[in-house]
């Protein structure tokens, strides 16, 4: 499958890019060319923002019922094109086709339905004290999205913004932009005023002027902590609201009464799905020293279910990383962990000859990892799990919280009340008990350097609203 465009989707049309440079997109399995998009620049961004600004008045004036109908129609189009979108995602970023169909596209559809539910329940006006409090759309939204779950992240930002009455300029990742090409074609089928949704392709040469644009009212960004800082700095020049969903180095706390088999299965699924390219992945596991050896043995044995394979083949568990660049980053972390004294239990930097041409990394497990090691502290964004032993529950909680990040976490115990007590002490935005996964109706986001704001459901929808108090008008509600 090849997707090539020299245009951006602006003001309801496919308009030629200002420049002539194309960004080529390679299949991470073998490096073959699967598509290309234009390298957008500040001129393209200006055109897209102007279109979104012009469309804001008519779109924000529509009824909530109409916006809900549009977003429900978008969800239906994604479902209709599920196989096509999954195939595009597999070719451009290596996500196994079964996972792409069920999670990459399926979760995007679920996101939109959950946001619709939140919009239906939302009260635009209410009385507080002696005031009428009104929620209003924030305005023009710049959405900058990542390559690991590209469609899911676009759906979260686009769906919430549209339901709130905002208009959008989307800048998808240059690593995985081809799904956004197809998405823009689907958006063209919707009943939207021209300019309501615009898509500008490119790298930082488009992203930076978009984040800094004076006619943008909000920037929502998902990606690395380093780039998130740059986005925040750019937006700060105009005091523009910023929502950031950044990295994580999330801990799974295995309590001494937890079933080993269940906890191993849950942790490995979190860490190795999507080749470890999941911001909320549980990549640090904290295990009581008394059961550490048994847990490690079970984890190594369970790796038999996480074999490398061709992502285009149904049932493949682990495909390549999204790019050879990311493969180099992950291999560097593995080598450094060995140099730092971590004990390699399984995996490593090398793969068999069958997979050498692709951006593959074996699912890797380290033990005897201490807080002084980079592999304990830094986000790898690949299939690498590290194990650290502990003696007391208090020590486990301290180790879990010993991080610059605070995006996710997990607790395993046979006693649900005990698990909850530990979860409440973790300084992180989400915690799964005994393997519970993403809940698209609940708020998702992080503490500390994992970001600002929340996505998903009611909280994600409300990020795109301003609140106005009209004093003395409570009686008008």
Active site residues: 245
DSSP designation for 275: G
**CA-closest candidate to residue 172, choices 149, 204, 205, 150:** 150
**Type and span of the H or E element at 397:** helix 393-401
- Overall size of the chain counted in residues: 477
Judged by DSSP in three states, 68 sits in: helix
**Per-residue 3-state assignment (H helix, E strand, C coil) for 204-241:** HHHHHHHHCCCCCCEEEEECCHHHHHHHHHHHHCCCCE
Contact between 235 and 212 under an 8 Å Cβ cutoff? The reply is yes
End-to-end CA distance of the chain: 55
Helix (H, G, I), strand (E, B) or coil at 329: helix
How would you classify residue 404: left for phi > 0, otherwise alpha for psi between -120 and 50, otherwise beta?
alpha
Nearest by Cα to 429 from 409, 400, 415, 413: 409
Cα 164 from Cα 313, distance rounded (Å): 39
CA 435-441-445 angle, to 5 degrees, is 75
Contact assessment for residue 351 and residue 327, using Cβ atoms and an 8 Å cutoff: no
113, 342, 407, 433 from 287: Cα distances, Å: 38, 16, 20, 15
d(CA 140, CA 166): 6
The CA angle 34-15-21, to the nearest 5 degrees, is 50
């Amino acid at each position: 499958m090849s997707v090539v465009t020299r245009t951006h989707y602006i003001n309801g049309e496919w308009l030629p890019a200002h420049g002539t440079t194309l960004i080529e997109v390679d299949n991470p399995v073998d490096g073959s060319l699967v598509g290309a998009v234009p390298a957008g620049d500040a001129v393209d961004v200006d055109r897209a923002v102007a279109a979104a600004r012009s469309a804001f008045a008519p779109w924000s004036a529509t009824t909530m019922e109409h916006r809900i109908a549009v977003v429900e129609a978008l969800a239906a189009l994604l479902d209709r094109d599920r196989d096509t979108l999954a195939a595009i995602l597999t070719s451009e970023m290596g996500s196994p086709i079964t996972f792409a169909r069920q999670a990459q596209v399926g979760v995007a559809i679920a996101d939109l339905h959950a946001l619709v539910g939140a919009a239906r329940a939302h009260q635009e006006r209410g009385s507080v004290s002696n005031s009428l409090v009104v929620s209003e759309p924030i305005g023009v939204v710049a959405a900058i999205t990542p390559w690991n779950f590209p469609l899911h992240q676009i759906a979260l930002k686009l769906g919430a913004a549209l339901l709130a009455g905002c208009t959008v300029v989307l800048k998808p990742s240059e690593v995985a932009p081809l799904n956004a090409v197809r998405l823009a074609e689907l958006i063209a089928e919707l009943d939207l005023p021209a300019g309501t949704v615009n898509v500008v392709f490119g790298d930082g040469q488009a992203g930076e002027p978009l984040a800094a644009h004076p006619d943008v009212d909000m920037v929502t960004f998902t990606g690395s902590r380093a780039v998130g800082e740059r986005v925040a700095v750019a937006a700060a020049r105009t005091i523009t609201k910023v929502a950031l969903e950044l990295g994580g180095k999330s801990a799974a706390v295995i309590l001494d009464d937890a079933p080993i088999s269940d906890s191993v299965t849950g942790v490995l699924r979190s860490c190795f799905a999507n080749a470890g390219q999941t911001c909320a992945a549980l990549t640090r596991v904290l295990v009581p020293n008394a059961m550490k050896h048994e847990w490690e043995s079970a984890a190594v044995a369970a790796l038999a279910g996480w074999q490398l394979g061709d992502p285009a083949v149904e049932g493949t568990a682990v495909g390549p990383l999204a790019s050879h660049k990311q493969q180099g980053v992950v291999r560097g972390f593995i080598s450094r962990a060995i140099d730092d004294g971590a004990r390699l239990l399984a995996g490593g930097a090398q793969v068999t000859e069958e997979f050498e041409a692709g951006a593959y990394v074996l699912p890797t497990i380290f033990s005897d990892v201490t807080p002084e090691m980079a592999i304990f502290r830094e986000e790898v964004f690949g299939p690498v799990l590290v194990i650290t032993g502990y003696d007391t529950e208090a020590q486990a909680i301290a180790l879990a919280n010993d991080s610059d990040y605070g995006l996710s976490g997990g607790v395993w115990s046979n006693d649900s009340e005990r698990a909850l007590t530990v979860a409440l002490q973790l300084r992180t935005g989400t915690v799964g008990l005994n393997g519970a996964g993403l809940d698209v109706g609940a708020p998702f986001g992080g503490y500390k350097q994992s970001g600002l704001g929340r996505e998903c459901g009611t909280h994600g929808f409300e990020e795109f609203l301003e609140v106005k108090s009209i004093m003395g008008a409570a009686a008008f509600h």
